[in-house]
Amino acid sequence: MIDLYYWPTPNGHKITLFLEEAGLDYKIVPVNIGTGDQFKPEFLAFSPNNRMPAIIDHDPADGGEDITVFESGAILQYLAEKTEKFIPTDVRGRKTVMEWLFWQMGGLGPMAGQNHHFGTYAPEKIPYAITRYVNETNRLYGVLNKRLEGRKFIAGDDYTIADMACYPWIVSHEKQQQDLNDFPNLKRWFEAIQSRPATIAAYKAGEGLRAGEMSEEDKKVLFGQTAKSTSSR
């Protein structure tokens, strides 16, 4: 059994995508990031960066004590290695999947996240910031579109954790001011993953947790923290 500490965000969806595809038993433990659940001591004990998702694996492959994992990319890698699914076993194929997993973690996710922030959540609209992150998101879409030319999935013919990492960040393409028609390979890939039964189940798993738009108080909790404020909780 996997305990998944989760909120329905792109990074949270990555993990439900894997769990549903792999058919692993899991239980969602909601981490309401708008009310500050991510700062509770019991959560920080195994997720020290004040961020979800995180997991507790009660049935680790070595048969030992429970294993905790934080950071969505690390969780995907851990689960892939645990199940021997959605990651190649050959050194070259594995290398490619890990390249694109880290590309998402270091590029697509952070840049699209800033796109979301300045375009949707920031208390004031700063044209330079909005343009900067819309343009960078567009560039990254172009990189992925080129990569998918002649390929079914990011690493080739097989669906892998690289795809699971990237897909949730493309779901909000309209909010990111991106038109998938400008990226035909990316659009084809996106629609193929969107229609997978496990994808539908993964997104259904988070229904009902988030109630409406983020309030101003939620934004203060989520975006207003410093080292001092988090250490005093």
Instruction: Give CA–CA dist 16/24, Å, rounded.
Output: 10
pLDDT of residue 15: 98
Amino acid in position 53: P
Average predicted confidence (pLDDT) for the chain:
93
State pLDDT tens for residues 60-115. Answer: 999 999 999 999 999 999 999 999 999 999 999 999 999 999 999 999 999 999 99
Question: Quick one: fold of 2-85+202-231?
Answer: Glutaredoxin (3.40.30)
- What is the structure's pLDDT at 224? 64
In this predicted structure, what is the pLDDT of residue 220? 55
- Domains 2-85+202-231 and 91-195 alike in fold: no
- What is the residue extent of each domain of the chain? 2-85+202-231, 91-195
Cβ 85 vs Cβ 74: under 8 Å: no
Name residues of the chain where pLDDT drops below 50: none
What pLDDT, on the 0 to 100 scale, is given for residue 233? 54
CATH class given for the domain over 91-195: mainly alpha
Going through the chain in order, the beta strands assigned E by DSSP cover 2-6, 26-30, 54-57, 67-70
Cis peptide before 48 (omega within 30 of 0): no
Q: Residue 182 has what DSSP assignment?
A: G
What is the C-alpha to C-alpha distance for residues 211 and 230, in angstroms, rounded to an integer? 25
Start-to-end Cα distance in the chain: 30
- In 3-state terms, what secondary structure has residue 19? helix
Task: Identify the burial level of 120 via C-beta atoms within 10 angstroms of its C-beta, where 0-12 means exposed, 13-18 middle and 19 or more buried.
Answer: middle
Q: Are strands 54-57 and 2-6 parallel, antiparallel or unpaired?
A: antiparallel
Buried b (16+ CB within 10 A) or exposed e, 6-16: bbbbbbbbbbb
Token pair 């897909």 is found at: 167
d(CA 195, CA 188): 11
Q: In the chain, what percentage of residues exceed pLDDT 70?
A: 91
Helix then strand count (H, E) for the chain reads: 11, 4
Cα–Cα distances in Å, from 136 out to 75, 109, 182?
A: 26, 11, 15
